[in-house]
Structure 1
């Protein structure tokens, strides 16, 4: 099924930017010296900000490349690049590297806003697990085609208080049954908040018969027919939720606070290490544990991309390459620092580098790699806006 869906995704995505590189990695390193790279990345989490600053310091020390962290969300950065293209600024854009998600990557790819294929030139890209982690090759079903570099994995997980819940619900149907038996003890963020939209997509995937339609552009599908089970489910769930579904949270941080306060018993995250991190930081009680649904949960890879008009593209490649290094990936996977799953294949690493990961602390609420192996691919990027619009029309206060 997975191969069939990936093949379908390829058929509906057209490569818009061709490889442009002739330089060697040595040439790129030499050109990068002294460059300043403006890295636009979300700045809403201090642990992530600290990690990025550590990486910035390491790249400055190792390669004489200065990186400035511009705390900006991807849609704003993409709009800025698009404005520069409209104004004819094709050589010295304000963004050299940005942290992308699938929707924004698809937008940049279709509008010719990416620099070109480059990851095949980065030495550390050879260590990425492209064989067993297909989401490193597809971003929301859009083929990556070496146009962005993977630097972390993510998967939807549910957090529950095991002191209150003997058996966590492991399907959409069981979650509804939980809400019926425990009114007011579950909620989710309102779309277009990322976690809210992800939850809606998760329920849609669970309630939809296996179909290629979700992995093709939404305009090719019978949207109303495909989503009818979703809306029926949410119509039944919402009155059973926190504050009777009349009020939604604004994001994952508020969800976590409600779980910590005991107002809700089940929350969600897009980081499998979230519960362990939060327990270690005193943000959640020791009784919180992680679970996923039996059919799998939505997973994806997050990437960094270089705009077509980057002023320091070589420096951007050096920074992207470092972010994929075993040193950087192991530090990022450390639950005491960030707790973001690696994109690397352990089989491709040296014994010394494998030891970096083997020695990482294991949080009490972290699922095993085997437990997290059951994943669902994101629907086609075009479904995001359509689902958010339909949700807001039905449920926005």
Structure 2
């Protein structure tokens, strides 16, 4: 069953869409309503949301901003945008950031339900039995091996000396129509592991699964990214992503966050649909073709961190501080000290800013010069609770103190601890303490 979050600053629209979905016959578990982006983020952090349906224009946080934050929290959440504006620019931006559909108000009921059904239809829940999966792949997936010459040239490009690179680029252009002009580049590598049920996979089935994983990567990146993907050595898939000056100059989205979203989505989908373990390594973004070898090496080094963190699966090279005078890996003690410092600084920042309405994981991560993905992992590993649970704990304990020791009204307390609406504050409070603010006051 699927959980759907509907977000609109007009309560009547939320209620109408909820009624429509409730009587549609679609396999829905829960339908949540939020009336602002900040309220929606709390649902996304605390509930298992499959589909986000959001208005594009809502007070202090737009639907586009909400979608960006949602993808940081759960990159695999599906999004449908609804808007009163039939503007190509809005629609283009929404689709580029990962929306599955863009619907114009006033909504046509059948069109809306058709869109929801279409999105949910492509969200097959759970991994099937491995034998059943392999049988289906063998029957329906006619494997076309990627051209070996193309693969060899792309690999050669990433390990070539600077003097050889131009000739390899020319050969790729002439023979395969591949244009790698950059000037900005990053590399994502996905190292495939064993079947998660522990079964050995035959060499033939291994090639089929690798091909299926390559197709998952291609479908995920689709037409919105300028990339080349190919088989690398040792059951690894390599993706070279490039940006020209215009695309890279677009500051409306954090490029590293986007790369991490791709990495987390790759890991999620390969495990979900293929039942394979995998580790993803992501390089930094560097400018200039002479750095293609460097970003290739960085992605390999990022994957190597899985030896230190066996319960983590997506690694960004920039999160790990290599030796200042060399490229040697730090010692275990240095890693532990570094990570403890990141978590402690994050705790201090949250303690000072938890009452800020717009506080996000991304903001806390930026203050510590690490990615949101890695900060989330470290915080949970070191403290036993996830970062947003810690924010809610501080907010709730402070609101309890204010309720019991002051005569402040509910709306004043909700404002003081970082909530936009008293109603949303009361929902969180009751979920946390098992009683409403007024019941606690009594």
Question: For this structure pair, what is the TM-score category when the shorter chain's length is used for normalisation?
Answer: under 0.3
Using structure 2 for the length normalisation, give the TM-score.
0.21
Larger-gyration structure (1/2): 2
Say which structure is richer in helix: 2
More relative contact order, 1 or 2 (CA 8 Å, 6+ apart):
1
Using structure 1 for the length normalisation, give the TM-score.
0.22
